[in-house]
Amino acid sequence: MFFKRKKKSDAVEVKAFFQGTVLPLEQVNDETISSKLLGDGVAIEPEDGTLYAPVTGTVTSIFDTKHAIGFGLENGAEVLLHIGIDTVELEGRGFDLDVAVGDKVNAGDLMGKIDLAFVKSEGKEAVSPILLTNPDYKMEIVKTEGSVNIGEVLYKISK
């Protein structure tokens, strides 16, 4: 009797980076993001400003204003974490990141703290999308609504 060996999945998991509520991108109050111009994905409305790594990979970019972080994954895919809406205008105020470009991170690693009260007091939304930025990869969305805990799978990326 022969058994077929299950092919090992090459899918990379993108996990919850904030504790909060997951939203589909279409509900994000930013035309560029909600129209998926920058890429597909989901967003989280954070309950707490403690920020964790969404993926295992390398930090490839951090905007000077600290509101966006790019990651390169082992399978070649790239994701962009955009913290809040119009938070670029805060010029880094309220953002305390403990990572730098070139750092290797594991999903769930502590990456810093965002002062959500300050962000909101400046009239900005804290909704934070995580986007797959290279369209030649496949995305399997796992969660688009409801409460989410740190480390829960949001979507999977494969070639």
Q: Say which of 39, 82, 83, 129 is annotated catalytic.
A: 82
Q: How far apart are CA 119 and CA 126, in angstroms?
A: 7
Residues 6+ apart with CB under 8 A from 8: none
Q: How far apart are CA 119 and CA 122, in angstroms?
A: 5
User: Is there a contact between 107 and 122 (Cβ–Cβ < 8 Å)?
Assistant: no
And the tokens for 130? 């995580």
3 state DSSP class of 16: coil
Determine whether 82 is an active site residue: yes
Q: How far apart are CA 99 and CA 147, in angstroms?
A: 26
Instruction: Indicate left, alpha or beta for 94 from its phi (over 0: left) and psi (-120 to 50: alpha).
Output: left
- Give which of 39, 136, 141 is closest to 82, Cα–Cα: 39
Q: Residues with catalytic annotation?
A: 82
